[in-house]
Amino acid sequence: MLFRRFMATAATTAKTHTSDIVIIGGGPAGLTLASAIKNSPILKNLKIKLVEGGNLIEPLEKFNESPPANFMNRVVSLTPATISYLKEIKAWDHFKEERTETYDNIYAYDGITNARIQFDCPEIATMCENFNIQSGLFQRIKELNKDNVENPLEILDKTKVIEIKSDEKNKWPVLQLSTGDSIKTRLLVGCDGYNSPARKFAGIESRGWAYNRWGIVATLKYKDDAFRFPTGWQRFLTSGPLAQLPLPDNWCSLVWSTTPELADILMKLPEEKFVAMVNAGAKLAPSEMEYLYKLAAKNDETLMEEISWRLNLFNSKLKEEEYENYPLEIESIVPNSRGRFPLKLSHADTYVEERVALVGDAAHTTHPLAGQGLNMGQGDVKSLVKVLETSTERGLDIGSKFALEGYFSERYPANHVLLGIVDKIHKIYSTDSSLLVMARSLGLDAINNTPFLKDFMVSQISNK
């Protein structure tokens, strides 16, 4: 009896809403898409909801009002193209620019031969915390909502999508939410990451492979004993690239891609020894690293001493002008900032199906070595918004695959090429076969000394 009464009230309070677009996922891709649509004079009157499973609004407000003293460990590289889009949708003004670092130089060097390539281009990339991006976009959405009282963007956070079904009559997706409500929508956009429920609902296959590598991230601080221009450093060890990317005030963000075994060892090390291993990884030879990993596995007491002795020896052999070819030494780490995530390549067979579009990681994931992951998602958003605008002006049903086709045909080839290049770079550098090492080092030196090739690569990296 009681149960039945409970059911009865549940049934009367649960509502079915109708929407033009539902975005799943409140990450950078989802929030960029939401603000770009509401920023568009053509699209701003659409009814849009953004559904996010986690707690989003509260932490974003907190970040905006009183940002944490230390940098967070989830940091991404933004290309100039991404930044100019964020400026175009007037979100960049809400970013905390003092927490971002724009740099001009990238040094990439071989972990075996130390053959190097240097890219020098004004404002080649900007490092920015994920949370800073989300917070800036969220503030922009709030601002847009103030000017659009009739059709504000609704963010439903702490709300999980339990099930997605098709409406019996017109096949529109109906999302059953954890709050008990459901939303029927003309178009469902999955900004919901690698395991995208939206992609699964649409029955779109995603293909690719795991790299059998983990990316270890951490926030580190350089020793303040010499001057370096803000530089992105990347050393290609055979286990994977070790990247140190600049943040303001001599801070840096680490992305160390490595094998699962080595990742285990590095994650378990006490923080002080982990810092020493990062310093070793930036300079020492593969044979030395191998020895150090063995000591690290045992958490050996002599590890620190071993590393500092070897680094001193290495430094003593450097000529004065060679000093600047290597990053400064790391002095400290933000406590508990170490984290790791698995690396994989994946690409969805299509980004659009009847009533569904996929954006960002839901459509493609890549190795972080080129810092392109988030930027590809931003490119997707820009393209999708343009397609939605054109389709709306032409009076098309924006949920139909026919209206969305242009988005897929524009983005798929571009993303595919980038995924492929990054994949090849990973493969070329994950070998120690001497012939290939020689070839890649020669190639790198050759490119480094061929300005027009380098210019082309810079334009590709920065999407300028």
* Interacting residues toward another protein by CB under 8 A: 18, 41, 45, 169-170, 186, 392-397, 400-402
Q: Which residues contact 321 (CB under 8 A, 6 or more apart)?
A: none
Report the C-alpha gap between 359 and 382 in whole angstroms. Answer: 10
Answer yes or no: are the C-beta atoms of 186 and 355 closer than 8 Å.
Answer: yes
Give residue 109's Cα distance to chain centre: 23
Nearer to another protein, 70 or 170 (CB): 170
Nearer to another protein, 61 or 397 (CB): 397
Nearer to another protein, 182 or 244 (CB): 182
Q: Computed from CA positions of residues 133, 137, 138, 143, in that sequence, does the dihedral angle turn out positive or negative?
A: positive
Report the C-alpha gap between 62 and 220 in whole angstroms. Answer: 23
**Which whole-number Å values give the CA distances from 139 to 54, 154, 221, 385, in the listed order?**
18, 13, 30, 20
Minimum distance of another protein from residue 314's CB (angstroms): 54
**Measuring CA to CA, which residue among 76, 52, 233 is closest to residue 156?**
52
Nearer to another protein, 19 or 35 (CB): 19
Report the C-alpha gap between 263 and 218 in whole angstroms. Answer: 13
Minimum distance of another protein from residue 16's CB (angstroms): 13
Report the C-alpha gap between 106 and 319 in whole angstroms. Answer: 21
Minimum distance of another protein from residue 410's CB (angstroms): 13
How is residue 34 annotated by DSSP?
Answer: H
Minimum distance of another protein from residue 404's CB (angstroms): 11
Token look-up 């956009």 returns: 189
Minimum distance of another protein from residue 149's CB (angstroms): 17
Burial of residue 5, with CB atoms counted within 10 A of its CB: 0-12 exposed, 13-18 middle, 19 or more buried: exposed
Nearer to another protein, 38 or 440 (CB): 38
Count of CB atoms situated within 10 Å of the CB of 249: 11
Report the C-alpha gap between 187 and 20 in whole angstroms. Answer: 6
Answer yes or no: are the C-beta atoms of 217 and 258 closer than 8 Å.
Answer: no
Nearer to another protein, 41 or 451 (CB): 41
Nearer to another protein, 108 or 187 (CB): 187
Report the C-alpha gap between 164 and 113 in whole angstroms. Answer: 53
Q: Which residues contact 250 (CB under 8 A, 6 or more apart)?
A: 221, 222, 224, 328
Phi and psi based region of residue 329 (left: phi greater than 0; alpha: psi -120 to 50; beta: remaining): beta
Minimum distance of another protein from residue 184's CB (angstroms): 10
Minimum distance of another protein from residue 397's CB (angstroms): 6
Minimum distance of another protein from residue 251's CB (angstroms): 39
Nearer to another protein, 323 or 402 (CB): 402
Radius of gyration, CA atoms only, the chain: 24
Q: Computed from CA positions of residues 164, 54, 22, 389, in that sequence, does the dihedral angle turn out positive or negative?
A: negative
Answer yes or no: are the C-beta atoms of 334 and 73 closer than 8 Å.
Answer: yes
Nearer to another protein, 39 or 231 (CB): 39
Report the C-alpha gap between 128 and 220 in whole angstroms. Answer: 15
Nearer to another protein, 186 or 199 (CB): 186
Minimum distance of another protein from residue 89's CB (angstroms): 17
Minimum distance of another protein from residue 11's CB (angstroms): 23
Nearer to another protein, 45 or 130 (CB): 45
Minimum distance of another protein from residue 392's CB (angstroms): 8
Report residue 271 as tokens: 């923080």
Nearer to another protein, 344 or 401 (CB): 401
Minimum distance of another protein from residue 160's CB (angstroms): 27
